Amino acid sequence: MPKIPAVSPATGECPPPNFVHTVDGNFVDSHGRTILFRGVNFSGSTKAPEGEASHLLDGFWESAEAGGNSFVDRPLNLDDGSADVHLARLRGWGFNILRYALTWEGLEHGGPGVYDDDFMNYTIRVLRKCKEYGFKVYIDPHQDTWSRYCGGSGAPYWTLAACGMNPLNFTATQSAILHNEYPLAHQPDPASIPAMTWSTNYGRLAIQTVFTLFFAGRDFAPNCTLDGCNIQDYLQSHYIEAFGRLADKIRDAGDLLDECVIGWDSLNEPSEGFVGYPDLNSLPAKQGSTLKRGPTPTPAQSLRLGMGQAQTVENWAFNAFGPKRAGLVTIDPKGQTIWLDPSTERDGVHPRYGWRRGPDWQLGVDIWAQHGVWDIETGYVMRPDYFRYLPAVEFADPQDEVTEVEFVADYWAPHWQAWARRIRKAHPEAIHFVAPPVFAQPPPLPTEDLAGRCAYSTHFYDGLTLVTRHWNWFNADAVGLLRGKYRTKFQALRIGERAIRRSLQAQLAMLKEDAPILGAYPTMIGEIGIPFDMDGRKAYGWTDGGRYKGNFSSQQRALDASLNATDGPNSLSYTIWTYCPDNIHPWGDLWNMEDLSLWSVDDLRLRGESSMYQGNGDKSSALLLAAHRAARSSSTVRLGASGGFPQGYPSQLSLATMPLAANDEQGGMPDTSPFSCWDSAFDFLTDGARAVKAFSRPYPIATVGIPTDIQFDIAKAEFRLVVRVRAEDAPVTNSAATTRPVTPSSHSTIDDPKGERPATEIFLPIVHFAADRTVGSLLDRSRYKRDPSTPDIDIDEEPVCSRSSETLRGVSNSPYPPRTLQNAVAVAVFVSAGRWELDGNGTTLRWWYPIPRPGEPDHEYSIIIARRGGRIITEEECRHQSFWERLCGRASDCCIM
């Protein structure tokens, strides 16, 4: 049987040559090759309009109540030349896919049904630019704890008013933690907010209420209606239609669907709110995605706080061993309530948004009290299990067994179906990246909605590293704990880096095993990554007298461990979180002190100086670049005793990322090519990057057969791939006839004419395999300028080697690499069978090998690729090596008998 269908299962049409199939648990191209997608989330910068970083309070509420600002220029400025630099950098790192983050607020911030056409048109322009660079894209409707106005990102301000809430009192009632009002709205100190505090909002009243209304309002809040429509239907219909309008725009553009935009994620990291809560008087026994950190009220206490009643609640600390109770703390809202004053809607009609609230919905009063859950006067919770069962079965015969609510199947799945049908109306061939709540298994979904065009989308982070901001010597099997694999937490403990790396790989294997619930579809790890502000931001030079400035070795180990987990037998596609063009050291990704961007303007090298990295001084390239174009914050915040930053440091940057000469005091942009500031591709790709050797890694882009083992050793700059090839894996040779079944007459052998048969293609990153002349002045010691004939590699069978070639064209027609950048690699290649060649750019290796004929057993082939002369060590890396590392490096040519 052919591996790829003759016609699209979604439309019945013949697919075009650039079509991406989802069959046999893999992404597959039109030649029948297994595709791996490796990319990045683009971008965390899209969570807010330009100039509105999450720590800024001035004008925040005034702008919200006026309808908000446009998200145009997020994530890229298309007019200053920086877009080409950013996209060329991402392409040069080896990424071939982008998870393109968009928020509901960006589309419909002006009010219900008021769409920002300028932003949609801008988005079309950015997508065309992504297409120009050869990227595939899938759209991410992004949210974190619902909205910027309750401490996260995603939904417009008006949705909270629609739910009868007053966000200005969220901080006083601890109904949500907002970065720009932390810890107190009248005395904010946003730089002091502990890491990941924003995620505690998933366990707070405002977010739990709004998600309950969004997913299950008809069942649990039947009295809440707007314009005769239940709040669930009101919110969901607006959310789905806003993105549906964008999908229509992309369709009407005529040159993006399937060529560039291949699919759509579902709502990012959805929350169940209160749905399924067994007891409102208690904190959940299973922590799930709700982090306990700081003051942590129970749901019942949250209800009382929301009505302005003081409560004494548990206070939680978080250390390397997880959350731990740290006493009690009293929260006193002093009568302030999160529920809108009735005077804001005269006669039940909102003066700005125009909706008419139903007569049974009383403003100023907790909606759950209005539904009989608790009594406001006494504070007593009369129905602590209100959200545990469907109201429809509440008064069933006592002899009948009452079924508990199952959030994913009962509420998330129907929402996903409505979403998928609207998107497929505009994008018939869309791949639906199905993303249930974090770590939750997907439910079986109707075949007609999946339509054979589906991928399971899940997220994975090393949670201990993410929260503690430290690469620890121990860790835990978090997925196994949540799935009930262990009786005690101690059984999930993993000690030592080797055990941790095995555990991370096993956890991802467990998540991959969820995909068959949907069908024979591939898995995409939609988010994976690590924080770069680890260990008190010592890599920024803010501690120990600047001793560790530019040293991202801990970050490299942590990120390599996570990305290594996607390799091995897992062979997973992923998009790393995140790439922010405006990341800066003091405020990270400019959102809730998150600092996960793979690149930062503050890590650009100063030109004309020997230092690999500049600091936060007035002459930093960040300040020079921003001098004539960036909005500057008028506030100054001290980031603790470890260091500070100068007055006027830009709080939000809109900049071209070309570093200037160090003596350019005025910050004027040179009248030269955008890439003329860099001497080589290696120089360009490492400038501003953090832990680049961990994420710019070799991988099989397209494989004839199935990759069964992928191994990459950073310390040796050595890549190993094992491929299993079946007779049915014979690639289709004519892309114009990819819909024809593969027959014996189309069988390819190793003797086929050169270049006629599609090959396995492997990406070779410049940052690992660059030749000495490409690395140039950044290289450390002269011994690496040698070019030994073979590296020290052992293989199980006699290798067959081929001469490299520079006559083949690149893997794509994208503008990368720029012609002005020197680009050469130094590799030694060993294959168990077949022949190989390098493309003209040296970054893609093509490998041909024999395909079993029908009836023959499967074949297994291996390839080893290493850098001639050993791994690249730059001067910067050498400065941060320990004495023993330097000694071993100099003695590497010696043999001790």
Measure the CA–CA gap between 252 and 246, rounded to whole angstroms: 10
CB atoms near residue 130 (< 10 Å): 25
| Per-residue CA distances from 379 to 171, 304, 335, 383, 784 (Å) | 21, 6, 14, 12, 73
The answer to whether residues 725 and 851 touch, using CB atoms and an 8 Å cutoff, is yes
Ramachandran class of 760: left when φ > 0, alpha when ψ lies in -120 to 50, beta otherwise: beta
CB atoms near residue 388 (< 10 Å): 17
Measure the CA–CA gap between 111 and 115, rounded to whole angstroms: 8
The answer to whether residues 621 and 613 touch, using CB atoms and an 8 Å cutoff, is no
The answer to whether residues 129 and 123 touch, using CB atoms and an 8 Å cutoff, is no
The answer to whether residues 848 and 757 touch, using CB atoms and an 8 Å cutoff, is yes
Q: CA torsion sign, 754 to 760 to 761 to 763?
A: negative
726: nearest Cα among 739, 742, 711, 740: 742
The answer to whether residues 870 and 771 touch, using CB atoms and an 8 Å cutoff, is no
Q: Strand locations in 554-703, DSSP E?
A: 573-576, 631-632, 650-652, 699-703
Measure the CA–CA gap between 760 and 851, rounded to whole angstroms: 12
Which residue has tokens 């997973």?
Answer: 572
Measure the CA–CA gap between 458 and 269, rounded to whole angstroms: 9
Measure the CA–CA gap between 128 and 261, rounded to whole angstroms: 10
On the CB side of 279, CA atoms within 13 Å amount to 6
Burial 162-195 (b: 16+ CB within 10 A, else e): bbbbbbebbbbbbbbbbbbbbeebeebebbebeb
**What is the DSSP-derived secondary structure letter of residue 14?**
P
Strand 229-230 and strand 225-226: the pairing is: antiparallel
Residue 792 makes CB contacts below 8 A (sequence gap 6+) with none
For residue 742, which amino acid is it? V
So which residues are the catalytic ones?
Answer: 269, 527
The 3-state secondary structure of 563-602, one letter per residue: HHHHCECCCCEEEECCCCCCCECCCECCCCCCCCCCECHH
| Per-residue CA distances from 536 to 8, 195, 257 (Å) | 52, 11, 44
Q: Strand locations in 726-826, DSSP E?
A: 760-763
